[in-house]
Chains A and B, each alone.
Chain A
Amino acid sequence: MRRSELLSRVLITAGIIVAIGMPLLFWRSTPLIHARRADTGGWSPDVIQAEVDKPLHVRLTSDDVRHGFAVGQMDMQPVDIEPGKVTGVTVTFDQPGIYTFFCTRWCGVNHWRMRGTIEVTGPATTSETVPTTPLYVTLGIDIDAPHESPILPMAQPSAVRGQQLAGDPAMGQFINQDVYRSNTPYQIFEALDSTRLSDSEKWDMVAYIWQSNTTSESLADGNGLYSQNCAACHGEKGAGDGVFADDIAKAGEAAMESMSGSTEMAMQTPADFTDAKRMLGASPALLEGKILRGGMGTGMPMWGSIFTEGQIWDLIAYLYSFQFEYQK
């Protein structure tokens, strides 16, 4: 074989090897976590290993639309993940355990299904916090049972008006976190029977009691959490009419058809927090249960692995603002 022929063959073969080998080599050395809408795969991989006190560097990319990344129970700012671009983020864990990472952008009707886990191993570097039993469990509340208020106010209860009526020292017993969290607004309304207040004044008083058991900072925090995580389904104004509400209802109908008429586990339209019957019959403890555990097949996700306890109470305080007129 002539040298030129041999050289040509070597050149072509080398070209092919380089064209295949080099990108594959570099591609393998730059692993990514891919984010896709839940119905086309969600996170990939969806399980990540990490060690306590050792910074975990993750490189994220989106394969379809804009997503977000955050780790539950951690004090971190969510980062955006743009389609076709790579975002880097570093997280350090001081406790072993299983953490949940989740999408923070409304990426589609199944946005809330975009979750993965980070398995963190190693000894704890800070004192371990002892998990507390959720209040709804302690109180034995059946969070799936109906909880409607039999009496409803004629007008929106106002904390401002309630404050003007709050001269009675006996009211002090209600400005108490345990009482507030364990009772429904309707129960407190009933407990105010002993006063000489009219029904509408009693509801104003309930609104005042609810506001007194929270702070403006908590309400602001709850507002932020609600806007980012809940409004997509429940709506910006809490009316259960978020951008995905219709899609959830359609998915529910499809699920009902596929289950041969069984409606037990069907998806439901998102809860309407402006519905007085629903909200005035629900205690903060009951709402805690709903948020922690989720709706069990109704389409409401469980948030227990994502929100801290403080965040959940802040969110609950904000949910009542759809019922009560609070002082600005």
Chain B
Amino acid sequence: MAKIELTQNTFIKNALRSRYPQLAVFVVMLMGYIFAILAGLIGTPVGSHNFSIVFVWIAWWAILILVAVPFFGRGWCAVCPIPLPGEWLQRGAVLAPPDKKPQWLNRRWPRAFRNIWLQNLSFLLLALFSSVLLTTPRVTGIVLAGMLFAAIGLSMVFERRSFCRYLCPVGGFIGIYSQTAPLELRIKDKQVCVTCEGKPCYNGSAVGYGCPWDVFPGGLTKNTYCGLCMECIRTCPHDNIAVNIRPFSADLAKPGARLDEAFKAFIMLGSALIYAGVLLGPWGALKAAAYNVGTSAWFLYAGAFLAIIFIVLPSLFAICTAHFENRNVFKKHFATLSTALIPLGLMFWVAFSLSFVLTNASYIFASLSDPLGVGWNLFGTANLAWQPMLTSVLAPGQTLALVGGLIWSGRTAQKAANETKTSPLLVILYCFVLTIVMLWLLI
């Protein structure tokens, strides 16, 4: 399937170029984000009746993992309000182009951390406490506030959106999964970028800012680190930036070979498996261990969590890559072949999320009318009883997602194996076994 350039449409191009539509969405999102923090801190501690839990971990998560990531890649990053206040501080302006020296320290992000290891770490930090985070409004409020203030703080020290690019626990996995999405931002003609003077898309100009994501659009070959902020569409003097619709998983045909990204794939795959067991499984002791942070049972759980992600899954995968004679070759093969785990992990998350989202979606209506759990009934839906939704399609939907994910990862493994010039069979077998485990856990 050929690409379709959306920006050929004048209306779409103008809407993306203009800062106002994005600003309007940003303001609404920021209000919702702040309200979620406040609801977490002052609203009812009962998670199922608190806006912060219901709208962040049910509504937002459903939209993110079931719609935004699979279909729009980093579409969420394009409207996420977290960088807005920090960016205003950093630039000293909301809209006005940079006609003066950048504010604050404006330092480069340290070279040693120009990867997603810190994002892996920040995700794991939240993941280990997820049973508490997903059910306790106050903790959710504190974490949301922490992310907002971290983004503001980093904006004052480092240039561009350092928090989004290197620290955001959500941005990391959105990035690797965005490679599967049928939407991309790319240049139209490479030669135009080569001859372009000043590279305003990266360095900024009188009409806009240099790429907030620290990416040179001229070199974009994957979605991973492009935040779809559309700044380069505004700054490119040659109208050389396009937003395209493309086939699913186009980026995975060109597998990367970075270990930080490979381990992100293991973290996401392992987390989906563990959550399916802990949050949806019938094992009460496991749930209690995950919830009772600080107890010896929780330390055991945390140890097992980390061991599965960093030892068990990668070790088994390493056996499947089957090249140990040369360290560098092994690393390259390991990272390249792990690309197959990206569609598999995404579909694991889709299958897992379908379960708890459909089970708990009815809380959204009650919470809409009484977001703080203080007895309001704004839209007359506060007393709607909890009821699982679409239960008849849940198991077939999950099975379809998992089997589809397996086929998708098999195809990706074949392409990756072409790069490494090895057989994809063991990797496909690895994906097959994990899919069977996930099917057993979910259905």
| Interface membership of B34, Cβ < 8 A | yes
Would you call A2 and B96 a contact (CB within 8 A)?
yes
Q: Is B4 an interface residue (CB 8 A)?
A: no
Evaluate contact between B375 and A12: CB separation under 8 angstroms.
no
Contact of A139 with B by CB under 8 A: no
Pairwise interchain contact A61-B38, C-beta atoms closer than 8 A: no
Decide: A20 near B38, CB < 8 A? Known: A12-B30, A12-B94, A27-B374.
yes
Smallest CB gap from B28: residue in A: A15
Asked whether, in the complex, the Cβ of A12 is within 8 Å of the Cβ of B46, the reply is no
- Please state if B31 and A18 are interface contacts (CB–CB under 8 Å): yes
Chain A hits for B374, CB < 8 A: 26-27, 30, 32, 61, 86
Given the interface pairs A5-B95, A9-B94, A12-B88, the reply to whether A20 lies near B34 with Cβ below 8 Å is: yes
A61 near B44 with CB under 8 A, answer: yes
* 1/0 contact string of A22-62 vs chain B (CB within 8 Å): 01101100101000000000000000000000000001011
| Chain A neighbourhood of B370, CB < 8 A | 86
The smallest beta-carbon distance between A275 and chain B, in angstroms, is 35
Give A8 to B27 CA distance when docked, in angstroms: 9
Any chain A CB within 8 A of the CB of B372? Answer: yes
Check B373 against A12 for contact (C-beta < 8 Å).
Answer: no
A297 at the binding interface (Cβ < 8 Å): no
Complex contacts, A265 vs chain B, CB 8 Å: none
A9's nearest neighbour on chain B, judged by CB, is B94
Most buried by A among B46, B372, B383: B46
How far is B23's CA from A24's CA once the two chains are assembled, in angstroms?
Answer: 25
Instruction: Decide yes or no whether B434 CB sits under 8 A from chain A.
Output: no
Complex interface: chain A residues within 8 A of B95 (CB): 2, 4-5, 8
Among residues of B, the one whose C-beta sits closest to the C-beta of A22 is B35
Q: Is A257 an interface residue (CB 8 A)?
A: no
Whether B94 and A84, one on each chain, are in contact in the complex, defined by CB atoms closer than 8 angstroms, is: no
Nearest A residue (CB) for B26: A12
Q: In whole angstroms, what is the CA distance A32 to B376 when docked?
A: 12
B79 within 8 A of A: no
Distance in Å from the Cβ of A133 to the closest Cβ of chain B?
44
Instruction: Indicate if B50 sits at the interface (CB-CB under 8 A).
Output: yes
Q: Is B39 an interface residue (CB 8 A)?
A: yes
B139 vs chain A, min Cβ distance (A): 14
Within the assembled complex, what's the spacing in Å between the Cα atoms of A83 and B135?
Answer: 13
Inside 8 A of A18's CB, which chain B residues have their CB? 31
Cβ A83 vs Cβ B30 within 8 A = no
CB distance A59 to B375 under 8 Å? yes
Assess the B94–A64 pair: CB atoms within 8 A.
no
Q: Mark B359-398 against chain A: 1 for CB-CB distance below 8 A, else 0.
A: 0000000000011111110000001000000000000000
Q: What residues of A have a CB within 8 angstroms of the CB of B26 in the complex?
A: 12
Shortest Cβ gap from B360 to chain A (Å)? 13
Name the residue of chain B whose CB is nearest to the CB of A12: B27
A85 contacts the other chain (Cβ, under 8 Å)? Answer: yes
Inside 8 A of A130's CB, which chain B residues have their CB? Answer: none
B396 to chain A minimum Cβ distance, whole angstroms, is 32
Size class of the contact patch on chain A? 20 to 34
Report the minimal beta-carbon distance from A211 to chain B, rounded to whole angstroms.
46
| Residue on B nearest A8 in the bound complex, by CB | B94
From A5, A64, A85, A88, give the contact of B96 (CB < 8 A).
A5
Is B49 touching A27 in the complex (CB atoms < 8 A)?
no
How far is A19 from B373 in the complex, measured between Cα atoms in Å?
17
CA distance A27 to B39 in the complex (A): 10
CA gap between A85 and B49 in the complex, in Å? 8
A27 & B94 in contact (Cβ 8 Å cutoff): no
Beyond A19-B35, A23-B38, whether A62 also contacts B94 by CB under 8 A is no
Quick check: B375 and A32 within 8 Å, CB to CB? Answer: yes
Q: Which residues of A contact B35 (CB under 8 A)?
A: 19, 23
Name the interface size band of chain B: 20 to 34
Chain A residues within an 8 Å CB radius of B31:
15-16, 18-19
Contact indicator B42/A24 (Cβ below 8 Å): yes
Question: Across the interface, do B27 and A11 meet the contact criterion of CB distance under 8 Å?
Answer: yes
Other-chain contact of B46, A8, A11, A15, A63 (Cβ < 8 Å): A63
Q: Mask for B20-46, Cβ within 8 A of A = 1, else 0?
A: 000100111011101100110011111
- Give the complex CA separation of A253 and B248 in angstroms: 64
Contact A19–B49 (Cβ < 8 Å) = no
Question: Given the complex of chains A and B, what is the CA–CA distance between A61 and B95 in angstroms?
Answer: 45
Contact check, A5 vs B94: say whether CB atoms are below 8 A apart. Answer: yes
Q: Smallest Cβ distance from A313 to chain B, in angstroms?
A: 39
B93 is an interface residue with CB less than 8 A from chain A: yes
The answer to whether A23 and B372 have CB atoms under 8 Å apart is yes
Does A145 touch B at the CB level, under 8 Å?
Answer: no
Q: Are A19 and B34 touching (Cβ within 8 A)?
A: yes
Q: B376 touching A64 by the CB < 8 A rule? A: no
In the complex, whether A155 has a CB less than 8 A from a CB of chain B is: no
Q: Does B84 contact A (CB under 8 A)?
A: yes
- Once the chains are docked, how many angstroms separate the CA of A245 from the CA of B42? 36
| A1 CB–B CB distance under 8 Å | yes
Contact B23 A84 (CB under 8 A): no
Interchain CB contact under 8 A, A16 and B34: yes
**Could you say which residues of chain B place their CB within 8 Å of the CB of A24?**
38, 42
Bound CA–CA A88/B122 (angstroms):
43
Chain B, Cβ-Cβ closest to A18: B31
Please determine whether A86 and B375 come into contact, CB atoms closer than 8 angstroms.
yes
Asked if B414 is an interface residue, CB under 8 A from chain A, the answer is no
Task: Please determine whether B38 and A26 come into contact, CB atoms closer than 8 angstroms.
Answer: no
A288 to B26, CA, bound (A): 67
B271 at the interface (CB under 8 A from A): no
B38-A19 in contact (CB<8A): yes
The answer on a CB contact under 8 Å between A84 and B50 is: yes
Q: Are A11 and B375 in contact (CB under 8 A)?
A: no
Q: Is the CB of A83 within 8 A of B49?
A: yes
B48 at the interface (CB under 8 A from A): yes
Distance (whole angstroms) from the CB of A64 to the closest CB of chain B: 7
How many whole Å from A5's CB to the nearest CB in chain B?
5
In the complex formed, the residue of A with least CB distance to B44 is A84
Which chain B residues lie closer than 8 Å to A2 at the CB level? Answer: 95-96
CB distance from A42 to the nearest CB of B (A): 14
List 6 extra interface pairs beyond A11-B23, A20-B34, A32-B375, CB under 8 A.
A5-B93, A12-B26, A16-B34, A19-B32, A30-B375, A85-B49
- Cross-chain pairs A/B with CB under 8 angstroms, 28 sampled: A1-B96, A5-B93, A5-B94, A8-B23, A9-B94, A12-B26, A12-B85, A15-B27, A15-B31, A19-B31, A20-B34, A23-B35, A24-B38, A26-B372, A26-B374, A26-B376, A27-B42, A32-B375, A61-B374, A63-B45, A64-B46, A83-B44, A84-B373, A85-B49, A85-B375, A85-B383, A86-B375, A88-B375
The 8 closest A-B pairs by CB, nearest first: A84-B49, A86-B375, A84-B46, A19-B34, A19-B31, A8-B94, A83-B46, A15-B27
